[in-house]
Structure 1
Amino acid sequence: MSLSDYRFAIENLRENGIDILGTKSATENDLKQIETRLGVTLPVSYKKMLSEYGALEFDTIEIYGWLSQGIDAKFVTNVVHATERERADGRISDTMIPFLTTGYGPFYVVDCAEMNVDGEAPVYEVSAGGYRNGKDKLADSFGEFLRNEVRRTLEARAQGGPEFDDDDEGSPPSREFISEYWKDRAKDFE
């Protein structure tokens, strides 16, 4: 089910003309390195994203993943670096994998300790203070989470929200826009 959610999300982005950016696709060997280094089995839909895009970016969403610099890349968007950093800070458990920040404090993780028979793990929003201070389940899988994010993006565009447009001559959004966007998105999690 979740792999179909993932595919549906990607197809929706393409059908609606939203640019999908990636880095370097992770090979089967790269995926094994990530799982070995982090001591978890990654969820099926997240591994599919890694193997197709490496890291995934569309609109204002930037999902951590595999980078061309490899497993030791010291960038927050490298899922290995992000996971090791968050674990060292005690913000996530040894079975959680962070893949996206909210922009206003909390961040999103898949908890590989809760893997189901389909090879999927639930997605949680974790408090900025760490999982011990609170976590809210948002989806049963990464694929479902991605499908929901794509839906929100498409709804915002349909309502004429100030998302990225081709008419903006490639300029990035202002800090004020980003701040207002994430404040508005915070309401989604109340």
Structure 2
Amino acid sequence: MTTAIEASEGLIELVRGNDDIASHADGCDIETVAAAERELGVAFPPSYRRMIEEFGTWDIAGEEFLGVYQTPAFGQKLLGSVTETMDARGQYGMPFELIVVMFDGMGGLVVLDASKADQEGEYPVLVWNPGIADRQSMERLGDNFGSFALLLCQRALTRWR
């Protein structure tokens, strides 16, 4: 059985090995990751943190991940997961423990649920739709970010090729 971190390492190889249909930023240093976690008030799970450290933000075969990044136009503002999470909390009342990592393409947000950390510190991957308060009714996409993201990207890559 592959761990979440091993799955993230596999995803890194997948992105780097398919640079014709993948793109990524330069990654985030430890200080930037810590600043993002402070702003969110919640820590990233290890497999998601690994991807942010490596790429910051990335996409492959049409699957786009928010990650954490900055641009010259926005200066020190942390974009991606940080901005989208803070916006969803403020505009739609998204629960504090959720971290937005993707859009599901149907109006929902793919989130990590920090209230349900496992023994490795990984969070389940869920779909949150604005207005949903009951987590039991949220669709569960995976047990952890690394495994979810690797499988999603492998499938997308197979369809693309």
TM over 0.5: yes
Task: Say if 1:21 and 1:56, in contact at 8 Å, map to a contact too.
Answer: yes
What amino acid sits opposite 1:153 in the alignment? Answer: A
Aligned to 1:155: 158
| 1:25 paired residue among 24, 27, 30 | 27
Query: Which fold has the larger relative contact order, with Cα–Cα distance below 8 Å and residues 6 or more apart in sequence?
Result: 2
CA distance in 2, matches of 1:18, 1:92: 36
Residue-pair matches, total: 154
Q: Deviations over 1:66-107 (max 9, x none)?
A: 22336525x5xx211101000012352101001111222122
- Structure 1 vs Structure 2: percent identity of aligned residues? 24
Matched, 1:137 2:140: yes
Is the alpha carbon distance of 1:17 and 1:51 closer, same or farther for their aligned partners in structure 2, counting shifts above 3 Å? Answer: closer
Task: Say if 1:18 and 1:59, in contact at 8 Å, map to a contact too.
Answer: no
Q: Deviations over 1:154-190 (max 9, x none)?
A: 33135xxxxxxxxxxxxxxxxxxxxxxxxxxxxxxxx
Matched, 1:106 2:108: yes
Task: Say if 1:24 and 1:66, in contact at 8 Å, map to a contact too.
Answer: no
Secondary structure of the structure 1 residue equivalent to 2:133: helix
Secondary structure of the structure 1 residue equivalent to 2:82: helix
| 2:12 paired residue among 10, 13, 17 | 10
CA distance in 1, matches of 2:32, 2:16: 26
Matched, 1:41 2:43: yes
Cα RMSD (Å): 2.0
User: For structure 1, which runs of at least 5 residues remain unmatched after alignment?
Assistant: 159-190
User: What's the TM-score, normalizing by structure 2?
Assistant: 0.85
Secondary structure of the structure 2 residue equivalent to 1:40: coil
Secondary structure of the structure 1 residue equivalent to 2:69: coil
Structure-to-structure mapping, 1:69-148, within 5 angstroms: 69=71, 72-73=77-78, 78-127=80-129, 129-132=130-133, 134-148=137-151
What amino acid sits opposite 1:123 in the alignment? Answer: V
Is the alpha carbon distance of 1:36 and 1:9 closer, same or farther for their aligned partners in structure 2, counting shifts above 3 Å? Answer: same
